[in-house]
Amino acid sequence: MPKRSSKDSSSSGSEKGRNRRRNKPARKKHGLGTLLLFWPFALWQKITSAFPFIIRLPARLIGHPAILSLYFLIPLSIFYYGRARQFDMAKVSEMPERSIVLDRRGEELGRIHGEKRDIITFSDIAPEFLSAILAREDERFFSHGGVDWIGFARATLRNIKDQSMTQGASTITMQLARNSYQLQAKPLSFSHMVQELDRKFLEIAVSYRIESNYAKEEILTHYVNRIFWGHSIRGIEEASRTYFEKRAKDLTLSESALLAGIVRGPNAFSPFKDIENSRFERDSTLQRMVDAKVLSQEEADAAMAESIDVRPEWRRVFHDSWAMDAVRRELERILEEENIEFGGLQITTTIDNLVQKKAEEALDQHLRKFERGGGYQHQTRAQWLALPEPRPAPQYIQGSVVVIENLTGAIVATVGGRDADESKFNRASQAKRQIGSTFKPFVYLAAFDHGLRPDTMLSDDPLRRGEVKGAGGWSPSNSDGKFLGMQPASVGLIRSRNTMSVRVGAFAGIDYVKEIATSVGFERELSSDPTAFLGTLDASPEELASAYTVFPNRGVRFPPRLIAEIRNRDGGVEYRNPLISYEAVKPGSAWTTSRILHQVMESGTGASVKRLGFNKPCAGKTGTTNDYRDAWFVGYTSSLTCAVWVGLDQPKKTIDRGYGSTLSLPVWAEVMKTADRLGYKADGLDSKLSFQDCRICRVSGKRATPACESAGEAYSDSIPIDLVPAETDICLQHVEDVSEKSGNRPPKAVPVGELPPTEQAPKAIPADEEVPRAIPVEEDIPRAIPVE
């Protein structure tokens, strides 16, 4: 076979090479999208190509999956960051808390609305507690940026191994995020695990936002203010007060460890429920503090040896109060619902808690004594308390006390019953009961406006048919069953004479008495029936007390006010109650009536007040309704007006001779004695008014004429200037006797409340006690002396 030349051989090889290149598949060209998508892998491949094989291989085994994970993490982060941006970071520091209610002295009355929480600052928290909560919940809190990835990885591996989601690895920041916002999973999540992962990723994103908006101390403070500690308790301050009756900054190491320990199961580990479980949680927290090197073993052992002293059981029950009940009702009237529910307000009231407590105590003590006395045939409070739970509504005798400051209308005390825990019906403001004879002063005031004078003679005899318009044959009797004949008008009020009071009302006119009743603040319209003159009007103790303030105030009324001021959590004023007043009645008539009411306490139905120990200047009126169903006393000093009611919730007879002077006046005296000692001075009831001396006819109450002088019915009176009769307003009931020169005396005139025309009008029967004439005074009503 002929040899192939080298040239041929070379030519043949070149040909084969060309054939191989021609037969080899062509390389696929990569597009721009591919390069953009996979350049991180290529870059890492190029970087690691220079590494030795022993390093290059693991670097690529770790690096490529890590790069691959970024393809998921980056869009995932963008997605959850976008969702996290929807949350207002200011909400982290905003949390519902209780509104604090203060009395006029700044003493705390209680807390209402919001959540059972008291927000405090970082400096108000014991350092021992901060160390304990960090050791227990987030040891690396100050070193991570919101998420503890070491703890997160450990919890994730544990969950994968256990096929559960029990290990959360939540940091304090993550817990704060969860507690501050409603972090709900997307509705497209199709399994519980995916839902939990979705919520956890959102929680992480929100946590990073919190860390970027708040300092670490702020985050920790907001966290401990939000924590739930069982029994509706939220926040470290409230937990400290509830469990240990001290402020959070005063917690000991042992107490701090216990509170930090029970956070993970506050109801289950509550020291109120299981002291041994609480002890175990405290000790385990102390040991974790040792492990975290924030506590020595000796210090931990000493704290473990301490006893656990929590609030005793008898002080754990929240007791309601009538003052707080009144505040709640008033807030519903003046605040928006959002402000009420969110709380955090500082509410300053007009209540004086010292007077309030005395009023509550005096009412219950007096009625307990009354229940033990003879003749009481109803349920007693002791009998009701002895009934098994659940008890029915109490049927024992109840009462109410309202104290109002005359010159401001401020409610100083309000008691709606004997115990606010046993009955939620507030009789001070909600109960409308017949006010009986306590209404009579307003009837007399109306008559004084029309010219009646305290010394004008009136008949106390039985009413005659047709004598009083609308009365028909009705003729009321007096409480003593007697009729005193002709008496000065003042006696009718001092001795609470029914027949005289009806005649006084008829003199004023029912329409005008209605007008006066509305002007002094009674809410319900007065009946047009003559019985209204004797107090058939229904009113609350608060209404009655407020109405009576026109007497010491010379006719001026300040509507009752309970809330003085409301401030928000930043200290700004949300509400301020302005001082409003108006002239409800004529000053002269108010003063004239007040002088008579002073005599009620000297010689009338309230005279026993001195025997009860109250000797300061005062005025007032008793009231008792038919069959002794309601017993009232309303009285005042220069500083305060107080109304007391006693009766049964279902109107029925309390006891034979259950008068206001017996059931209500003793309570009034105790309250006013305390108020006087506290600075609400009873300095006198005289007013600075202008007076004018006049000669007045005792029969008609008008300017006396020579005929009145001749008849012996003229007298001198010093009259408030606004009540002085006009020069032309002269008596027409006496006429000059043309036969005077012959020595014959003129006939007696027929007075107001005249006897039958056929009978001669008798002279006045003298009262047991002298009724003083009006004397002008120079002193003004002093205000209550402020108490520091």
Give tens-digit pLDDT for 182-210: 776 555 545 667 777 788 888 889 999 99
Do residues 444 and 593 touch, judged by C-beta distance below 8 A? Answer: yes
pLDDT value at residue 570: 85
What three-state secondary structure class fits 612? Answer: coil
Q: Is 758 a domain residue?
A: no
The residue among 286, 315, 344 that closes a domain is 315
Q: By C-alpha distance, which of 362, 359, 370, 365 is closest to 322?
A: 359
Q: How many domains does one find in the chain?
A: 2
Q: Are residues 69 and 165 in the same domain?
A: no
43 and 142 in a single domain? The answer is no
Higher pLDDT, 774 or 627: 627
Q: Is residue 53 part of a domain?
A: yes
Q: Are residues 303 and 171 part of one domain?
A: yes
Q: What is the pLDDT of residue 310?
A: 94
Query: 244 and 156 in one domain?
Result: yes
Please give the C-alpha separations between residue 629 and each of 1, 236, 484, 544, 605, in angstroms, as whole numbers. 150, 51, 26, 17, 18
User: 778 lies in a domain?
Assistant: no
Identify the domain containing residue 160 by its residue range: 119-315
Which segment of 126-130, 443-447, 697-701 scores lowest on mean pLDDT? 697-701
At 401, the amino acid letter reads: V
Question: Which token pair is 240?
Answer: 């400290």
Report whether 423 contacts 414 (CB < 8 A): no
Rounded Cα–Cα distance for residues 741 and 407 (Å): 58
pLDDT grade for 86, boundaries at 50, 70 and 90: confident
pTM, entire model? 0.79
Tell me, rounded to whole angstroms, the distance of Cα 372 from its chain centroid: 34
Domain boundary among 315, 347, 371: 315
Helices 192-213 and 172-180 cross at an angle (nearest 10°) of 100
End-to-end Cα, the chain, rounded Å = 137
- Tens of pLDDT, residues 311-363: 998 888 777 899 999 999 999 888 887 777 788 899 999 999 999 999 999 99
Is 384's pLDDT higher than 60?
Answer: yes
Are residues 213 and 89 in contact, defined by beta-carbon separation less than 8 angstroms? yes
In a domain, 337, yes or no: no
Tokens representing residue 477 in the block: 């009797």
Cβ partners under 8 Å of residue 582, min gap 6: 556, 557
What number is the average pLDDT over the span 484-499? 94
Least confident range of 12-16, 133-137, 412-416? 12-16
What's the pLDDT score for residue 41?
A: 64
Do 67 and 128 sit in the same domain of this protein? no
Q: How far apart are CA 354 and CA 613, in angstroms?
A: 19
Alpha helices by DSSP H, 163-314: 172-180, 192-213, 216-226, 236-244, 253-261, 275-291, 297-304
Tell me: do 203 and 146 sit in the same domain.
yes
**Per-residue pLDDT, 318:** 76
Give the Cβ contact number of residue 68 at 10 Å. 12
Find the mean pLDDT for residues 712-736.
88
Q: Which strands, in side-by-side order, build the sheet including 573-576?
A: 108-112, 99-102, 346-349, 563-567, 573-576
Report helix angle 127-137 to 216-226, nearest 10. Answer: 90
Alpha helices in 678-748 (DSSP H): 706-711
Mean pLDDT, the chain, integer: 85
Looking at residue 69, its pLDDT comes to 72
Q: Which helix (H) or strand (E) holds 45?
A: helix 32-49
Instruction: Tell which residue, 439, 684, 656, has the closest CA to residue 552.
Output: 684
Please check whether residue 132 lies inside any domain of the structure. yes
If you average pLDDT over each of 463-467, 634-638, 707-711, which comes out highest?
634-638
Query: Do 143 and 214 reside in the same domain of the chain?
Result: yes
Q: Per-residue pLDDT tens for 212-260? A: 999 999 999 999 999 999 888 999 999 999 999 999 999 999 999 999 9
The verdict on residue 67 lying in a domain is yes
761 or 458, greater pLDDT: 458
Q: Are 603 and 769 in contact (CB under 8 A)?
A: yes
d(CA 288, CA 40): 44
Model confidence at 443: pLDDT above 80: yes
315, 350, 385 — which closes off a domain? 315
Q: Residue 523 pLDDT more than 50? A: yes
State yes or no: pLDDT of 776 exceeds 80: no
Task: Give the phi and the psi of residue 717 in degrees, each rounded to 5.
Answer: -140, 140
- Per-residue pLDDT, 514: 97
User: How confident is the model over 758-765, as a mean pLDDT?
Assistant: 35
d(CA 495, CA 604): 5
Q: What is the pLDDT of residue 115?
A: 86
Shared-domain flag, residues 55 and 160? no
752 with 458: CB under 8 angstroms?
yes
Q: Is pLDDT above 70 for 300?
A: yes
Q: For the residues 585-590, what does the mean pLDDT come to?
A: 96
Q: Give backbone dihedrals phi and psi of 41, rounded to 5 degrees, phi first.
A: -65, -45
Do 123 and 63 lie in one domain? The reply is no
Q: Burial code of 373-388, b = ≥16 C-beta within 10 A, e = fewer?
A: eeebeeebbeebeeee
Residues 6+ apart with CB under 8 A from 369: none
What is d(CA 287, CA 296) in angstroms, rounded to the nearest whole number?
9
Task: Provide the 8-state DSSP code for 726.
Answer: P
In angstroms, rounded to a whole number, what is the distance separating the alpha carbons of residues 569 and 95? 11
CATH of the domain at 143: 1.10.3810.10
User: Do 155 and 223 fall within a single domain?
Assistant: yes
Rg (CA), the chain: 44
**44 and 184 housed in the same domain:** no
> Phi and psi (nearest 5°) for 574?
-90, -35
Query: Whose CA is closest to 203, among 223, 175, 227, 231?
Result: 175
Cβ within 8 Å of residue 392, ≥6 positions away: none
Residue 743 has pLDDT above 70, yes or no: no
Q: Are 491 and 767 in contact (CB under 8 A)?
A: yes
603, two tokens: 């010689």
> What pLDDT is attached to residue 620?
97
Average pLDDT over residues 119-144: 94
How many percent of the chain have pLDDT more than 70? 84
Q: What does DSSP say about strands 563-567 and 573-576: parallel, antiparallel, or unpaired?
A: antiparallel
Q: What average pLDDT score do residues 50-57 get? A: 80
pLDDT bucket at 58, cuts 50 / 70 / 90? confident
Closest CA to 640 of 784, 487, 515, 752: 784
Among 530, 669, 535, 525, which Cα is nearest to 610's?
Answer: 669
Q: Where is pLDDT greater, at 390 or 545?
A: 545
Residue 287 pLDDT: 96
Q: Residue 133 domain-assigned?
A: yes
If asked whether residues 47 and 188 sit together in one domain, one would say: no
Classify residue 484: in a domain, yes or no.
Answer: no
Does residue 262 or residue 684 have the better pLDDT?
262
Q: CA geometry: angle at 519 spanning 661 and 325, to 5°?
A: 65
Residue range 650-703, pLDDT digits in tens: 999 999 999 999 999 999 999 999 999 999 998 877 777 889 999 999 988 899
Q: 390 preceded by cis ω (within 30°)?
A: yes
- pLDDT at position 623: 95
Q: Residue 280: what pLDDT?
A: 95
For the chain, the residue count is 788
Query: Residue 160: which residues within 8 A CB-CB, separation 6 or more?
Result: none
Q: Which of 90-94, 184-188, 230-234, 570-574 has the lowest mean pLDDT?
A: 184-188
